[in-house]
Structure 1
Amino acid sequence: MADQTRPQPVTSYPAGPANQNGYPPPSSGTAYPYAAPPPAAYNYNYYNNNNPYYQQPDAYAVQRATFLRRVLAIFIACFVIAGTVIFIVWLILRPRLPEVRVDSLSVSSFNLSDNFLSGNWDFQFTARNPNKKMTIDYDDIQASIYYDSKQLAETSVAPFFQDKRSETASKATFAATRTFVDNRVVEGIKKETPNIEFDVLMLARVRFKAGSWKARSRFLRVYCGELKVGLVQNKSSGNLVGGPRQCVVRL
């Protein structure tokens, strides 16, 4: 006969065996207050994201991108530092280009026969260093004389040194012996005689110095244009017309 004093569980399933305290074990649902965890295979796919449309990041690509970003940052930092240093030096020294003045230009033994030209040119000029804190070294100076963009002769000029706020007089001597010129030059010279315009171009390697600081060598270009020479003495010699004039100086 069943024990009427013991409460019977209300369930549609038979009660499990009683534990040592005489009560049935808790139902399996009480061990998990939430829904049962997904299957192991589902868990793996969820956390590893094996979606065919999702690409896992490449570790090598990530490292390379990080390296490139660091290199770019270092390059920008070096550029900013170098620019700042150059700007500070410029503020302190205030470098200025030298000034060049044509003092005289004389022509002798000038002769144009058919398409062959001969003559001697004596070109004298003065270079001035306007800088208060910098000296200038002039080296490897090459000079050429032109007529209407046609080079007639070229020569070298002796190198020289300029102290701060100083002037240096120098010269270049050109000689042409039966240099061939085309008909355009022949017609132009005949048309301009007795006043013929020549151009002088000089290219020099210069270096600016301020105490122990030395700038790197730069090429200095000097253009002295429209130098009109008036020919006399049977149109074979002459001198500069109009007196001294400034040249264009550029780096």
Structure 2
Amino acid sequence: MPPYRLPTYHRQGPAVRCINFLCAVLLGLVLIAGIIFFVLWLSLRPHRPKFYLADFSIPNANQQSGLANLPVRFTVAEHNPNQKIGIYYEEIDASVYYGDELVAKGPIAQPFYQGPNSDIALQGQLTATGPTTSDPAWGRFSAELGAGSVGMRLVLTSTVQFQVKMWDTKHHHMKAECDFTINGDGTLKQQDKNSQCALYF
């Protein structure tokens, strides 16, 4: 039976130890840099704004001569949730629909900048172009108005750009859609006040 021998221990040379140390330091630096970049990305990643329909009305909508030339008034509250990022808005256009029927359309805000973590009230006043009494949609609209409940839609469109520190992001085309219902007198139903609008980028 051959004699039992202890395993031979080979000491690593200085060059090997130096290489192992450098690899460990490099991996540590890569890990730290990755954590720093991840934290920076979380803090600088833009969050999209939020829109809420605060009010809407079409005065005298219950008259029997159609909506043409009636004022369409609304207020949309916009919130920038970013703590350190501002938002540039180009001109904001608004469109009001009854089903697929365009009721009113036009610009409601000139280009502006909104600071971080702030709120802006967008005041819109348009002039209705329809439906008129000769439009097929008027019969349905008038009947629903008489019943005290008309579903409508407000669409806001613009181009936005986020300002992150000292540089700006690319331009984004934005569309906010607010679905709501008005009463028989043309005012916004209470349950739809301050309802959040869907946002598309």
TM-score, normalising length from structure 1? 0.57
Aligned to 2:175: 221
Task: Report the structure number with the largest CA radius of gyration.
Answer: 1
Structure 1 pair 174–221 and aligned structure 2 pair: CA distance change class (3 A): same
Q: Percent identity?
A: 25
Using CA pairs under 8 Å that are at least 6 residues apart, name the structure with larger relative contact order, 1 or 2: 2
Counterparts of 2:67 and 2:114, CA distance in 1: 36
Q: Is the 8 A contact 2:94 2:156 kept in 1?
A: yes
Aligned residue pair count: 158
* 2:192 paired with 1:238: no
SS in 2 for 1:189: helix
Q: Distance in 1 between matches of 2:121 and 2:130?
A: 30
Q: Secondary structure at the match of 1:108?
A: coil
Gaps of 5+ in 2: 1-36
2:118 to 138, 146, 166: 166
Cα deviation 1:196-247 (Å, max 9, x = unaligned):
221000101111001211012211110001x111123xxxx43443222100
Match of 2:154 in 1: 200
Cα distance in structure 2, aligned partners of 1:178 and 1:94: 42
Partner of 1:247: 197
Call closer, same or farther: CA 1:126–1:178 in 2, change over 3 Å.
closer
Assess if the C-alpha contact under 8 Å between 1:230 and 1:241 holds in 2: no
1:128 aligns with 2:128: no
CA distance in 2, matches of 1:206, 1:145: 21
| Deviations, residues 14-70 of structure 1 (Å, cap 9, x unaligned) | xxxxxxxxxxxxxxxxxxxxxxxxxxxxxxxxxxxxxxxxxxxxxxxxxxxxxxxxx
1:135-146 matched pairs, under 5 angstroms:
135-146=86-97
Aligned-residue RMSD, C-alpha: 2.3
Note the residue ranges of structure 1 that are not aligned, 5 or more in a row. 1-86
TM-score, normalised via structure 2 length: 0.70
Pair 96,130 (structure 1): closer, same or farther in 2 beyond 3 Å: same
Match of 1:97 among 35, 45, 48: 48
Q: Quote how far apart the aligned CAs of 1:190 are.
A: 2.8
How far apart, CA to CA, are the structure 1 residues paired with 2:189 and 2:71? 14
- Tell me the amino acid that sits aligned with residue 195 of structure 1: S
Contact 2:103/2:130, CA 8 A, preserved across alignment: no
Indicate whether 1:107 and 2:61 are aligned. no
Hey, what does 1:151 align to over in structure 2? 102
- CA separation in 1, counterparts of 2:144 and 2:190? 13
Are the aligned partners of 2:102 and 2:130 in contact in 1 as well (CA < 8 Å)?
no
Q: CA deviation at 1:177?
A: 4.4
